[in-house]
Structure 1
Amino acid sequence: MSEDRPATTDLARLPKELVDRLTRPFAWFLRIEAAGGAVLLLFTVAALVLSNSPWGHLFLDAWETRIGLQFGPLEFGRSLRDWINDGLMTLFFFVVALELKRELVLGELNNPRMAALSIAAALGGMFVPAALYLMLQWGQPGEAGWGTVMATDTAFVIGCLALLGSRVPQSLRVFMLSLAIVDDIGAILVVAIGYSSHIAWGALALGALGVAVVRAMALTGVRSIPVYFAAGGVIWLAVDSSGIHATVTGVILGLMTPARRWVSDERLYAILGGVVAHPAGDEGSGDTKDRRTLQVAEIAARETLSPVERLEISLHPWVGFVVMPLFAFANAGFPLSSGDVDASITFAVFVGFVLGKPVGVLAFGWLAVRSGIAIRPPDLDWRLLAGGGLLAGIGFTMALFIAHLAFSKDLIDSAKLGIFLASAVSAGAGLALLTWLSARRKPADRDRG
């Protein structure tokens, strides 16, 4: 009897293939929090190196190559860089909205007062930097770039916290992730409101109709993800034609994605309990009871995860390791030797991030706790929040995204220089403060033990 147990155990597992030996290390790599930030940094450095190499003009001009479709008199096209910024970044915002929806329904933000701390800090981290920037650029050529200093780069912030490992509490990671997600949502609203062109109301109405259709599909029980992506593509085209930045489509559809699962654990176990082993023999693949039961079990196993969770699991690696690095590769490069840099814009961007972010995060967070609107986890003291506020000054990805909308071609390099300098200083200062705080906390922890 005991000799049959190993065979039975093996049959209870999925069969192993050679490809599993290759995919398992890659899946492990995807789980490393810092991996996305490391790849993003690699492509950023590559863009800077290439743009300052003898092939710099070819590299920068390649992103301006026009790509599109033409049907008779109708033409739908834009530059390669704009396809990345407007098209692929919609997927990024879709995943950000999925993360926010999951946190609000299933995660730490499910507690309204806990969520209020991250939301208040994020609002402070947007308003204070924008106010400082406007004070320095009021009436100047770079005045329209106020939105550049409002965003926090999620990948680099989480990557910095991953470098610190267990030396910082989990509550700080949750707080910073929540802050960055809210920050990104706020940034796309800024884009939609502050940097959209003249609105074509007919196209916008068509987009709204598409959103209503998606909602109706969800209410009637349509569960095919490809159908929803097709509908999302139509909505994207309509919103893009309306004059509002099309990336807002990703936020709307992400927040509309259901966060509740369709099949409960109890129902799944009941369905699995009814699975009948397919008899051995060459009986073909007809419409037998066994096959129908297995098909139902397959659907039930898939639907025990909510659509939000399934989409986030499947799309997050593509966003982290393809979309974001490609965005950085297309947008981060600029000639460092350019003599046309406007120092006032570079300084305003630098001050907005390095000073405005931590001040805004701490001030608004303190006011929210003081007023009773929000609560602060016991292990998340104000010194740790100050370190998190400094890390929030890493704007990079979203800052570059907004800068390309806000600045003209003769000013964009000045803004990029400010973004890079501010991100480097914010990362260094935040890591230094959190490392110092963790070193001071260890003796106290040992004494308590």
Structure 2
Amino acid sequence: MDKGQKSAEKESTKGVSAPSFIPQIPSGRNSSQYDVFLSFRGSDTRKAFTDHLYNSLVNIGIVPICVFRDDNNIPIGKEFGSYILDAITCSRILILIISENYASSKWCLRELIHIMDCSKSTSHIVLPIFYKVNPSHVRYLKGSFGEAFHSSKEHFDEKDIQEGQRALSEVSYLNGWESEKFANGHEGELVKKVIKTVLDKLGRDFQLNVTKHLVGICDHVNKIRNWVDTSANDVRMIGIYGMGGIGKTTLAKVIYNGLSNDFEYRSFLSDIRETAHCNGIHHLQNQLIKEIEPTERQIWNVDDGINVIQSRLKGKKALILLDDIDHLNQLNALARDRKWFMTGSTIIVTTRYKAILDQSEFKVDYKYELNELDEVHSLLLFNKHAFHMDHSSREFEDISRGIISTMGGLPLALERANSQFTCGRTVDFIQVRELKN
């Protein structure tokens, strides 16, 4: 290979997608180590559109999105190629940013070929972006896109040329975005659309953790979902109240998970009562702002936090869960006014005190009281925890019913009693009463 060929080979790998960090690629071909893989031509979009999209992806949402993108420190050559192809295989969503010079890179073509092969499986999602190029030019190798490809063919293997042309034709038929046509060419709007699509596709991976042993919750969920579904043209606040340990947080999480795919902006503030006591309400305001729209600015007082929340939430349809509020000033500092939120936003509040919901300046739309489980559901929940089945063995049936009778229908108390029961300890009713209190 002469000097010119070496230079071309080096350029063909420069700017090709590589990870922003270098973890170990798992050997299993079905593993998903990355949420998103970005395939792009570095010389075209690295410092502009791709950089904007990458930073928006990794900085949005409650759970960080793991994105594979450009890094010039990745070694080139055979090891480089194997690393890239493995990363594609181990990614859930494959985003192709097909720009003018994309097909002039041998490695971009190899990425594309592998991506189109992966698209034939159900475990991969391919999202093409035709960045300032026409899909028909990609399909028929016309215009400046075709010129870039043909001018670089002398550096390609014959296999790359043939399979590359096939892959380019295939991707041109996929439903994607044309940057020049979407939102009249406003790239910021295109980035927002791509982000929303990615979050929708990854929605199941960003669910709040809920216990597997759910008992008697379906009726509650259906009633609250009916409220939400019938008021989609307004901002709404739903309050769930009841004694401690009754299952308010679990119910709210189930509702939140069921709605989450409809919202690009989401926030879950857990255990507000304890967090506000230990760290102050401004700490919760910082968390809310960070999850909705990350910023380096730190909030040090509640009044400043209110102003920033209003500014950051303006124009954003958000889903917010405020868990275990025990004072009105906490609610007012986080969601005091309906005008803070965009139409369609939903705020879910859990509290032990109905008075907080009654006195809220927001004017809570729906208030739902959660009561204790009845005897049948209490026994079912206890048995699921203690025996991993819907019923207890005969030798423990009497003591199980005795525990249920003593504990009442508090899910948390039943779980605590079960932990004592399954650890092989002697459980008498005095211990059970102590657990309940």
Is this a same-fold pair by TM over 0.5? no
| Higher relative strand content | 2
TM-score by length of 1: 0.22
TM-score by length of 2: 0.23
